[in-house]
Amino acid sequence: MVSFGEPARLALLVVPALAAVAAVVRHRMRLAQQRALASPSVWEQVMGGTPSTGLARLLAWCGAAALVVLALARPQWGEVPSEVSIRTRDVVIAVDLSDSMRCEDVTPSRLDRGLAVLRRALPGLDGNRVGVVTFAGDAYPLVPLTVDLDAVATFLSGVKPGMIALPGSNLERAVDQGLELLPPEGEGRVMVVISDGENLQGDLEAATGRLKDAGVSLLAVLTGTPRGGPIPVGGDGGGVHYKRDRSGQMVITRARPEVLRRLAAATGGTVVDAGKAGASRKLVEAIRSLQTREAESRRRVRRVERFPLFLVGAAALLALGFLLSPWRRLAAAGLLILAVTGTAGAQTPAQEPGGGGEQAAAQGTVAPGVEVPLWQRLIPGGERRMARRGLALWKKKDLEGAAEAFGGAASLDPEDPERLYDLGTVLGAQGKLEAGAPLLEKAARGGLPRAAYNLGTAALEAGNAAEAVRWLRQALLELPEDPGVKRNYELALRLQQEQQQQHQQKKKDEAERQKDRKDEGKQQQEQQQGSRQGATPTPTPTPAPGQPQRERPPQRTEPLYGALERAEQQAREAMRTPVPATRTRVEKDW
């Protein structure tokens, strides 16, 4: 049975139907005019027949328009069964509301910093069930497991220290209450603890054992610093003073990261420091790295789209209309031009990566050798379709297919910075930095800050410190809060400093070698002069009787001295320590 995905569009069939009626009326009027001018026998003698009114051509075009309308309505017939599995996780968040969470060793306070990290991470947990537990000396559920993350955020905005009547900090009770909210068994169960790690009550070993027995992973968000600070307490008059013990000494609270690390390590989890950049992203990545469970499995039947058949029929009728007289010659010329153009495009030789890449980008041929299908060129939006295909292949780690698809998109729209950015990025991921650098440079000049970042990263990978510093500095001005940009910029500055030191050391070594060569030449010249003087021996005077005989000075053996000095120079060069090249991981998009 035929059905339509967009049945409302069938109303557009009125347009080709009216056009067909108009064509028939026109045909009848033309025949009447021809009969009024002459009889059919006269037309036969003068022109070899009655002139055509073009009815067949117009009806073919009207039929093509009708088929296009039917294709837009998305005709469907036939069924393909498919099974959809919905996978999710159950996440319980335990928030520490003890007095130590008031401490302001991190701004604005430990509790506020932890809640800020959690609120930024909630959108990344879409599709998971989330519940909330609050604890201090005891623990109570605040929000049961729900997929309504907006409701979770609303409840979190109202939590504050003092909500729990029993003071203290009991991580064991928090774990027990979290396990009560979670399903008793199954995969995809996670517990997130937001705390400073202080545990004044409760048995941590028992809590760890219950988590391991239940198969629940624990992630911790550490708020606070080991340096610690005092605990502010509001006064009656609106002022603020700090908590003191019974002896009057100010209480200093310090974060205990080792407690949270021990809990997380025992259950296969990790600890995220809320005071560092990208804490929310790291928390979401840590949750996503854990196993999921199948929440629901649905079996559905998908209707098969048949609109391509109607488009092919429309193209055939359109071509038929052009082939009919008097358009026969024009249609033949057009087909010949398309055939020649397609052959020339298919025979265009592919350039080597990096060979003429900048010139090709300047001329608009950014992806030579990439064959773009003719229908992608003719139907508007081809570059967007090929870009979406390239993105899908990129997510599947198919770099060759992604490069081909992005290359086709860039060929169709060579002035779009996004198309150049996509192609340059995938070329950089393939290691073809020389080919991708001109594309990223053009995209960066088009206003894409990530292009400048990728271009600087590519230059850093290639060891070009000057270019890396230049482009990463531009990316840092446009993305000042991006930790990857900051890290790579620091690495580029370090690489530039090392290269400058190596260059200076090289110049110094070259100067020393030139000096050694001059000294060696001078010694050889003195040796030659000494040998010429030795050819005419000078008589040694005989000392007078009673006068002490002077010792005869030893003759210089210049070749021996020269060999010793050269050996000493080689020893100095062997002992010289080269500037070490620091190997550090570079952050990059691929």
**Which of 272, 168, 180, 157 shows the shortest CA–CA distance to 220?**
272
**Model confidence at 585, in pLDDT bands (50, 70, 90)?**
low
CATH topology of domain 90-232+250-291: Rossmann fold (3.40.50)
What is the per-residue pLDDT across 408-418, written as a single tens digit (0 to 9) for each?
Answer: 888 777 878 88
* Span of 35-44, 129-138, 382-391, 527-536 with lowest mean pLDDT: 527-536
**Model confidence at 348, in pLDDT bands (50, 70, 90)?**
very low
For residue 160, the model assigns a pLDDT of: 86
For residue 551, the model assigns a pLDDT of: 46
Q: What is the mean pLDDT of the chain?
A: 77
Token pair recorded at residue 388: 């979406």
Backbone torsions φ then ψ of 353, nearest 5 degrees? -55, 130
Say what the pTM is.
Answer: 0.42
For residue 534, the model assigns a pLDDT of: 53
Residues 49-62 have a mean pLDDT of 79
Is residue 332 predicted with pLDDT exceeding 70?
no
* Span of 225-239, 254-268, 534-548 with lowest mean pLDDT: 534-548
**CB 231 within 8 Å of CB 102:** yes
For residue 577, the model assigns a pLDDT of: 44
Is residue 349 predicted with pLDDT exceeding 80?
no
Token pair recorded at residue 334: 């057009």
Token pair recorded at residue 255: 């974060």
For residues 320 and 335, the model is more confident at 320
Is residue 369 predicted with pLDDT exceeding 60?
no
Q: Where are the domains of the chain?
A: 3-79+307-338, 90-232+250-291
* Span of 148-162, 351-365, 495-509, 562-576 with lowest mean pLDDT: 351-365
For residue 193, the model assigns a pLDDT of: 94
**Measured distance CA(385)–CA(392) in Å, rounded:** 11
What is the per-residue pLDDT across 223-250, written as a single tens digit (0 to 9) for each?
Answer: 999 898 998 887 666 567 788 888 888 8
For residue 430, the model assigns a pLDDT of: 77
For residue 141, the model assigns a pLDDT of: 92
Strand order in the sheet with 139-146: 139-146, 129-135, 90-96, 189-195, 217-222, 271-273
For residue 239, the model assigns a pLDDT of: 64
What is the per-residue pLDDT across 430-447, written as a single tens digit (0 to 9) for each?
Answer: 777 777 778 887 777 766
* Span of 107-116, 323-332, 407-416 with lowest mean pLDDT: 323-332
For residue 520, the model assigns a pLDDT of: 76
For residue 85, the model assigns a pLDDT of: 60
- One-letter identity of residue 349: P
DSSP state of 227: T
**Model confidence at 364, in pLDDT bands (50, 70, 90)?**
very low
**In terms of DSSP bridges, do strands 252-253 and 229-230 run parallel, antiparallel, or are they unpaired?**
antiparallel
Angle (nearest 5°) at CA 560 between 557 and 564: 140
User: Which alpha helices (DSSP H) does 49-135 contain, by range?
Assistant: 55-72, 110-121
**Measured distance CA(269)–CA(189) in Å, rounded:** 12
Percent of the chain, pLDDT > 90?
A: 16
**CB 403 within 8 Å of CB 423:** yes
For residue 565, the model assigns a pLDDT of: 64
Percent of the chain, pLDDT > 70?
A: 75
What is the per-residue pLDDT across 193-220, written as a single tens digit (0 to 9) for each?
Answer: 999 988 878 888 898 999 988 889 899 9
Q: How far is CA 455 from CA 431, 460, 465, 483, 586, in A?
A: 13, 9, 12, 16, 13
